[in-house]
Structure 1
Amino acid sequence: MSPLTTPLRDPAPMLERTLDEWGGRSDLWIYGYGSLIWRPDFDFAERRAARVHGWHRALKMWSRVNRGTPECPGLVFGMLPGGSCRGMVFRVPQGDARQVLLNLWQREMVLGVYDPRWLACQTPEGAVRALAFTLSRKSPSHTGVLADEEYRRIFAQARGIYGSTRDYAEATQAELLRLGIRDRALARLIALSKDSD
């Protein structure tokens, strides 16, 4: 592994802490705000629209494997502090939850970039406590402020093992719109990328 694809932190203790915090005595709720919405890759018993206050979805996390390379990093979504975010919560039955978490760690936490957090999610059927993968602005994977030209270049060039940053952004936008969720910041970035076609 190159230094850029070496885990920032050991994800194993973070998984153990998350399992302890869940406790194993109830169903598990997981909050999706990006690709988990359109490709959860786990079975669930229920899915609800949900809003989280105090966090927002942002295409501001470097991806050097899934949607880019160390030489040409792409972008994926992180949840950053501030604002609010509309997404989905998924209820995983108690008996399946441990295995689902193990699989999620293989997908989301290989490099130990995210900070897993339990967030209060408001749904039409009431509030639930759900696990979300958040991003610290202090993380080396946080992009900081990017110029429009940089977004254009990334959308045009960045591609990783799961495809391009552009495909990822467009797939997320399509599913958000299907669910009646408008993300103006994401729509602006996709429109920017099309300006350069």
Structure 2
Amino acid sequence: MDGLILYLHGFCSSPASWKARLLGEEMTRRGLAARFVCPALSPVPAQAIADLSRFLDSVGRPVTLIGSSLGGHYASYLAAQFGLPAALINPAVVSALSAEQFIGEHANFHSGERFVFTAEHVAQLAAQVARPDPARLWLLLETGDEVLDYRAAQAHWFGSRQSVFEGGDHSFTRFPELMPQLIEFAGL
């Protein structure tokens, strides 16, 4: 059965993010467009997980999760819940974050759509912390991430395959060169 990649974007982001677009274009170039899914995630954490869980319950084929930043948090949680492989790119470690700093009004980077992130949303994120089987994970980090401390991710996902690159930034600058390996990780 043909597997697919489910790409999960970060906070205030969308399927229009540069990593999602690049990976979608590479999958299309390889004739694998039908095996790439990148939904727009709700800014409400419980809703995002509910929507993704419904999708995973209905898909009927092997899925590999790739999540960036907050999408990495979601990918980790879903990998634990569904027993899936996941690649986590500069992922958010909710237990190491002061998530309260995100309370307030935000705008989506791509659509400009505004939303309010609340204390209830922070609690929803805290309830989504789960540790998947480290053998199913690939952690990709850049030490120059200016938003999240890469060392928190190293510690949180200890025992998983880890690729740590010097420099870079939160966007994970090495993404284009690692796309072939991510597709191979997904078994495609």
What TM-score comes out, normalization by structure 2 length?
A: 0.29
TM-score, normalized by length of structure 1? Answer: 0.28
Name the structure where strand makes up a greater proportion of residues: 1
Higher RCO (CA 8 Å, separation ≥ 6 residues): 1
Structure with greater proportional helix content: 2
Q: Which entry has the higher C-alpha Rg, 1 or 2? A: 1
